[in-house]
Amino acid sequence: MPTGTRDITLLYRADKSDSASFTLYPLVVRPEVKDFVVTSDLDWVLSRDRNRCLWIVGWFRGKTDFDAEARLLDKLRSKYGVLAYFDLKDGSEIQFAKYLPWFDLWYKKQLLRNRNEYLRPFAGNRFFTEFYVDKYGVKDEPEPEPLVPVAQADLGKLRTGWNILLGSYPLRPLARRVSAVLANTIGLGSARLLVRGSSWKHMPHPDQNLCHARFGWKEYRPTVGFQRKLFFEAVKDKPGFLAGRVSAARYARELRSVR
């Protein structure tokens, strides 16, 4: 059920409730969450919400039905005086710019300094992939569908939000699954039972003079994984680096111990 009594309604996806550990983490653990009516119930938003400002978090997917989403946004646009969106994608590009015309504000954790760059598409659909396409001739097969550029009239809607670095990121798979179930059944605020802020009694003193390089590249498109593969091949089996796949438990231990 929706919680809160203030003038802004926050709508998040129940099936993306692990965002309680990431983007929405500050609202989960801070008393400011009471400044919002928080819900994942779209039907309630459409039929019973009386607020005039709606903040939608991470709603769109890569393969969404544009016509269906457009019909939904038409309904929300006619109901709310202000529509805002928090984009959960981690890149600097705007992957869902085709929905920007319906919104008044669009928040991302990072934006390009030169906003005019958003007026054109990027090779590989990422700002950095264009560099590898142009300089090294890296290609994706098949090429991804080009992103819709941001319209000139929508550039002024872009805002910088907080960074996902603020998240708690519970590494235990069970804790993440349980927190997602709690958020889906009881509400987003229930995730604070498992997602808590860090409590430092003293500064950590890592004792391993190593560079932590635990990342993969095979699961990415060539233009996205190019620099990952390049760096991995340069450091694997080299003294001073930790590379390759390990268990989540070992990964967590290493993060606490390496410098």
Model pTM score: 0.85
**Residue 36 contacts by C-beta under 8 Å, 6 or more apart in sequence?**
4, 6, 8, 9, 10, 27, 55
Q: How confident is the model at residue 32 (pLDDT cuts 50, 70, 90)?
A: confident
Q: Which CA distances in Å does 127 have to 17, 35, 92, 93?
A: 28, 35, 7, 7
Strand partners, 39: 11
Look at residue 38 in the predicted model and tell me its pLDDT.
Answer: 86
Question: What is the spatial distance between Cα 55 and Cα 36, in angstroms, rounded to a whole number?
Answer: 9
**What three-state secondary structure class fits 242?**
strand
Return the closest-CA partner of residue 19 out of 88, 90, 83, 95.
Answer: 88
Reported as half-sphere exposure (CB side, CA atoms, 13 A), residue 234 has a value of 8
What pLDDT digit, counting tens, does each position of 158-189 carry?
A: 999 887 777 766 656 677 777 777 777 777 76
pLDDT at 27 > cutoff 90: no
Q: In what helix (H) or strand (E) does residue 164 lie, and over which residues does it extend?
A: none
| Fold classified for 8-118+156-185 | Rossmann fold (3.40.50)
Q: How confident is the model at residue 196 (pLDDT cuts 50, 70, 90)?
A: low
**Residue 145 contacts by C-beta under 8 Å, 6 or more apart in sequence?**
none
Q: Which CA distances in Å does 174 have to 170, 182, 245, 255?
A: 9, 12, 20, 20
Look at residue 177 in the predicted model and tell me its pLDDT.
Answer: 74
Domain with CATH 3.40.50 in the chain: 8-118+156-185
Look at residue 195 in the predicted model and tell me its pLDDT.
Answer: 67
pLDDT at 234 > cutoff 80: yes
Look at residue 102 in the predicted model and tell me its pLDDT.
Answer: 98
Return the closest-CA partner of residue 192 out of 24, 15, 16.
Answer: 24
